[in-house]
Amino acid sequence: MINVDITVNDEGKVTDVIMDGHANQGEYGHDIVCAGVSAVLFGSVSAIMGLTTEKPDIDYEDDGGYFHIRSVDINNKEAQLILQAMLVSLQTIEEEYNENIRLNYK
C-alpha cells in the first residue's frame, strides 16, 4: 500500500508530504495506481519548481517507494495551490483504489 502522510498547519497549508510504499495493484511496470500517483506527485513538484520561485527540499529513493517534499513556503500562494491540487488528485485516486493508497492527514 502507498501511504501518503500530509502535514497541514492550522491555516490548512501543506508543510510536508511523504509518500512511502508500493501500490501492488498490478505487476511491476503495469501498476496503474503506482503510475497515477507517481505522475501526480512528480508533475506537481515539477510545476512548483517550474512555475513558482520555490525550490522545495526533496528526498527520494531511486527504486521508488519513497518521496518526501518539504520546505515549501507556506506563504507562496501559487506553490500552495499546486500542492492543494495535488492532494485533490491523490484523493480521487484514493476513492477508487482505497486498498492501494491511503492519505493520512497530520
Say which DSSP state 75 is in: T
Whether 22 is catalytic is yes
Cell numbers 485516486: residue: 93
Given the residues 22, 68, 70, 102, the one annotated as active site? 22
Distance in angstroms (rounded) separating the CA atoms of residues 99 and 106? 20
Given the residues 34, 41, 82, 86, the one annotated as active site? 34
Distance in angstroms (rounded) separating the CA atoms of residues 62 and 103? 22
Tell me the residue type at 89. S
Cell numbers 510545476: residue: 47
Residues tagged active-site = 22, 34
